[in-house]
Structure 1
Amino acid sequence: MKIAIVAPSPVPFMIGGAEKLWWGILDYINHETPHDAELIKLPSPERSFPDLIASYRYFSELDLSHFDRVISTKYPAWMVAHHDHVCYLQHKLRGLYDTYHFCGHSTELPELPSAFAPLLQLLDSPPDRALLTALFNQTQKLLQEYPEHFDFPGPLTRAIIHQLDGIALQPGSIHLFGAISDNVRKRSDYFPEGCPVYVRHHPSDLEGIYTGEYRFIFTASRLDEPKRLDMLIRAFRNTDVDVSLLIAGTGPQEQALKSLADDDPRIRFIGYVNDSELVNYYANALFVPFIPYDEDYGLITIEAMQAGKAVLTTTDSGGVHEMVQHGVTGLSVAPEESALADAITTLVNDYENTLRMGQCAQQHIQHVSWEDTLTPILAPPARPMPGGRRLNLVVVSTFPAWPPTGGGQARLFSLYRQVARHHDVTLLCLGSEQGQRQLEPGLVEICVPYTAQQHRYSGRLHQIYNLDFTDILTADSNLLNTDFLNQLERLAHDADLMICSHPFLHSSIRAVWSGPMAYDAQDVELDVKAAICAGAPGTEHWLDKVRHIEQRCLQDSRWVVACSHHDILRLQALYTPIPAAHAVAPNGVDILGTSFHDCRQRSHHRAQLGLDPQQEVVLFMGSWHGPNIEAAHLLVELARQRPRLQFWLMGSLCSHPELQALPDNVKPLGLLPAAAKDTVMSAASIALNPMISGSGTNLKMLDYAAAGLDIITTPFGNRGLDFAQDTEVSIVDIEDFGAALDQLSQLSVEQRIARQQRARQRAAETFDWSVCARPLLELIEATA
């Protein structure tokens, strides 16, 4: 795409957070994407209302039709009319919006001369671009004749700018709304009512940030009243800490602030600093105080955290408070001198804890990147549902969807990838690392780590039972995972529906959300856990807990979707009644993304790998999951009975301690990257599915069929899939797998290829993910 980033150029010119954002967007698009971008700026003075109106008019008349997409972030640049316009909003003219109350004027229009009647009628009209010419002309005419009525700020100028912004930011004029912080998203009158707004914390364009020593307190900002440096200086003077406070920056309050600090030798004003100097000051700070009033975002916060420094802020600092977790990544205290003085003293005296918070801060913002910020901005426009509105869906899971290496991950990613073509989906997952990524247009994954306490508790139980109870424990322990709950609460602001993938995070959802909830039952959890426990002493309590969790989740849900009709019937038998609205969205396969190789091609691939092309290679793949481990033991026993065959194990099950002492003809391949997995799937000749327990359906069966492998499965392994006996796959009891292997080897090449082709055709017609997702989409849209 050819992209225009359109922005105002301040008069007089200065560099602030807005400029850094535009430069960062421009640089990333031109150097890291296939798109081309240009930054287009018009001089935009705000010294008077006539200046401001003139700027609004200039932008409204700007023709950028030679670009494929326009990106705006700030008034009055968003007045540009374009068929593909994204607004990633920084802030509106705050003096006429969220800080207007400080000016002391009413929001109600006063009595005005009769000449104002046409203008008032335009201001009362619904926002429409057709009004612009008349609105500008009337305003200019009345400004000349009645300048005394145009106080700036004042009720009339406020009403005019609100109407202009309303026209520019109509849902039909902007195809995607974003905000630089949740603080901006929540401000009154910033966005059209009911429009979804995504939030992305963007990075700084400051390069070379590093962590150095911890020698002084450092802050940097424009020396202006809203930054409240006077309060910081007074608070600092009330401490007796033996450390310097360094203040970088220039601005209108410079002399007043220097006078306030004049007799305290610990306070130093270092004036303007360039980027390399700024990086060094951050690197060697003990912590960074930043206490503005209701800041839109606060790049200083991101820069300080990136340097591994704790941040001190106040509870009314807006976007800064949003990023600082009190006691974890810094301190956020009441906007009072005494509270700030106590916090400064604590941060200086509790040196080790301050360093620890700085390290946590650095980890906390690792997901903030230009890629993460711009992926939704650069995505093609998403398709709305019938009626024009995309729903905002939040799906919670005890594991990440990406990368989709296991069956559960593959279902979570692939199913909601299809849903995201029609609705906006955020996957909020527990995992090992903090992170956020745009997986597809409309599909975002946010990963929050399990807490140290959760790991300790799970570890203790593993020592007692030699079983993994991590997901069961999240039903209670996750209520203490404040990072996860804070993310969930933030997402709940815009959610139309919460979907629980597995039942264990139901309690977390209900801790922050009272709206509609649904249940994506990937399996029957009670049956899965019963198979894992297999009568182990002392596990009855945990199975009772699973029964209670699963029942509560089901009965609190608007609808339930399962992997198979068998699972629906089993849930009904266990937990009558289940939701009246229920459907089957079976496990599927990405047919177009899976290469088909018949048995002739497979022999050739084995030869290329240096293997005997005539030797059958038997494959079983699975994750570290109880039923898969059980099946792998059966395969190992089969390998001992067939020493002349080569057996391959693939997946995370290879790391299981019970699968380390293997026969010579069993090769553990482990968890492989996609390219290596494709190589294995193209060289093996026969795939086994010796499953005798578990729930849901076996995704591996569909992967096997799509790739063209000959398949031998138990009847249980074919549940919910219904591949045809003999003509598509071999369905035999576990004790007959050896005989089935012998029978396959006796078939002609033509007979085997015919079976392989029919199995793939069945998978394509019935189990491509686009087909599997339809029942889920119907349930989602019925909820709306």
Structure 2
Amino acid sequence: MKIAIATVQIPFITGGAEYLASNLLRELTERGYEADIITMPFKWYPASSIMDSILSSRMIDLTEVNGVKIDKLIALKFPMYYVKHHHKVTWMLHQHRQAYELWGTEYGDLDKMEDGSRVKDIIVKNDTKFLAESKGLYTISNTVTDRLKKYNGLDSIPLYHPPSNHKEFYCNDFDDYIFYPGRITEIKRQHILIESLKYCNDNIKIVLAGALDESYKQKIQSIIKENRLENRVVFVGFITEEEKRKYYANALAIYNGPYQEDYGYVTLEAFFAMKPVLTHFDSGGPLEFVKNEHTGFVMEERPEELAGKIDFLYKNKHKARELGLNGKRLLEELKVDWNYVIERLIT
């Protein structure tokens, strides 16, 4: 069986979506399917560029290659889930969020573009129409499923999948630092974590791994400087997967407090490493796994409240261990594994 994985990519940027596509390709190949990833470059500005991408995706022919039929299409991202195919299954990472839950927020941009309102309406109309063509409509989380129902009236089934190399995560100790790996940017809200340090026990530090967005750097640096936190916030930049697992293994807890995340590998990686997760009531995807006082703590996006939970774990490391173990057990109960995902996508 020939399977095409259809997605988009912003050139020179690799993130969770790219890892998911690669992992899906590997899992399909290991099970004997002939699969390949087919990508389209995506540019979201100006608003007219989005219209060009929508038109392009409808014109792409993925029914056959070299005269041989492509048996199934698994579409992952907007607007490649518009591609026409006789056996299209959509496993949605997310829609174009700027037209939905980010519209009108501090994290949105389409609402601030010329002709943005018209393009937003076109996206919603096309999503509702063309996603309904799918023989199976799945998402990566309940959060994405709920959005589809709320904005488009479409029913879908969430399929949880594990992060890369999930079996290699482990727990070693509970040292005096909070860890976060990933892009350091406004919507991930690491500034809340950093600001919480001024209310925390002086022994607690923060370790951040990943690229720091230039647009976010001044805000982060100002908080650190104003509160004299230079020796307590550690930026380790890009690290290897082995180094990342080591940081997880020895962290006191993991912070994952984005605004309306779709899924969030950080939460799952934390639980595979048996570490508790700190998040917020409006963080989206992480809330599907972080159960307050059972696998971590859920709170308002207030640095003082976050500091209180961190200090509690610092004084009660046995509780941190208990919460982390509960997280690992939860993933097992939810069947966060590839066998279940592939079975549903291929059926």
Q: Does 1:339 align with 2:308?
A: no
Matching residue of 2:127:
165
Matching residue of 2:346:
378
1:481-520 maps to which residues of 2 (within 5 A)?
none
SS of the equivalent of 1:365 reads: helix
Matching residue of 1:41:
39
SS of the equivalent of 1:42 reads: strand
How far apart, in 1, do the equivalents of 2:192 and 2:182 lie? 14
How far apart, in 2, do the equivalents of 1:20 and 1:301 lie? 16
Whichever residue aligns with residue 45 of structure 1, its letter is K
How far apart, in 2, do the equivalents of 1:372 and 1:213 lie? 32
How far apart, in 1, do the equivalents of 2:16 and 2:181 lie? 12
Q: CA deviation at 1:41?
A: 0.7
Matching residue of 1:22:
21
Q: CA deviation at 1:59?
A: 1.6
Matching residue of 1:94:
97
Q: Does 1:180 align with 2:140?
A: yes
Q: Unaligned stretches of 5+ in structure 1?
A: 108-148, 380-784
1:294-309 maps to which residues of 2 (within 5 A)?
294-309=260-275
Whichever residue aligns with residue 19 of structure 2, its letter is K
SS of the equivalent of 2:270 reads: helix
How far apart, in 2, do the equivalents of 1:287 and 1:224 lie? 20
Matching residue of 2:223:
260
Structure 1 vs Structure 2 CA RMSD:
2.2
How far apart, in 2, do the equivalents of 1:24 and 1:301 lie? 18
| Structure of greater relative contact order (alpha carbons < 8 Å, 6+ residues apart) | 2
How far apart, in 2, do the equivalents of 1:40 and 1:202 lie? 21
Matching residue of 1:213:
173
Matching residue of 1:65:
63
How far apart, in 2, do the equivalents of 1:315 and 1:299 lie? 18
How far apart, in 2, do the equivalents of 1:210 and 1:204 lie? 14
Q: CA deviation at 1:273?
A: 1.6
CA deviation digits over 1:17-52, x for unaligned, max 9?
Answer: 111111111110001x23221111111122322322
Asked if the contact 1:64–1:82 (Cα under 8 Å) also holds between the matched residues in 2, the reply is yes
How far apart, in 2, do the equivalents of 1:325 and 1:99 lie? 25
**Residue of structure 1 aligned with 2:193, choices 232, 235, 240:** 232
SS of the equivalent of 1:78 reads: helix
CA deviation digits over 1:227-254, x for unaligned, max 9?
Answer: 1111111112221241221011113223
Asked if the contact 1:95–1:153 (Cα under 8 Å) also holds between the matched residues in 2, the reply is no
Whichever residue aligns with residue 35 of structure 1, its letter is Y
**Residue of structure 2 aligned with 1:223, choices 172, 184, 202:** 184
* 1:294–1:322 distance in 2 versus 1, CA, 3 Å: same
* 1:39–1:104 distance in 2 versus 1, CA, 3 Å: closer
Asked if the contact 1:6–1:72 (Cα under 8 Å) also holds between the matched residues in 2, the reply is yes
Q: CA deviation at 1:153?
A: 7.0
How far apart, in 1, do the equivalents of 2:115 and 2:273 lie? 39
Asked if the contact 2:174–2:317 (Cα under 8 Å) also holds between the matched residues in 1, the reply is no
Q: What TM-score, normalized to structure 2? A: 0.90
How far apart, in 1, do the equivalents of 2:150 and 2:23 lie? 24
How far apart, in 1, do the equivalents of 2:254 and 2:116 lie? 37
Matching residue of 1:110:
none
How far apart, in 2, do the equivalents of 1:325 and 1:62 lie? 43
Matching residue of 1:523:
none
How far apart, in 1, do the equivalents of 2:35 and 2:248 lie? 31
Q: Does 1:350 align with 2:312?
A: no
* 1:187–1:152 distance in 2 versus 1, CA, 3 Å: farther
Deviates more, 1:284-293 or 1:253-262: 253-262
Q: CA deviation at 1:258?
A: 3.0
Matching residue of 2:67:
none
Whichever residue aligns with residue 134 of structure 2, its letter is I
* 1:87–1:210 distance in 2 versus 1, CA, 3 Å: same
Q: Does 1:79 align with 2:45?
A: no
How far apart, in 2, do the equivalents of 1:206 and 1:287 lie? 20
Q: Unaligned stretches of 5+ in structure 2?
A: 65-69
How far apart, in 2, do the equivalents of 1:164 and 1:18 lie? 22
**Residue of structure 2 aligned with 1:272, choices 232, 238, 248:** 238
Q: Does 1:151 align with 2:117?
A: no
Asked if the contact 1:100–1:153 (Cα under 8 Å) also holds between the matched residues in 2, the reply is no
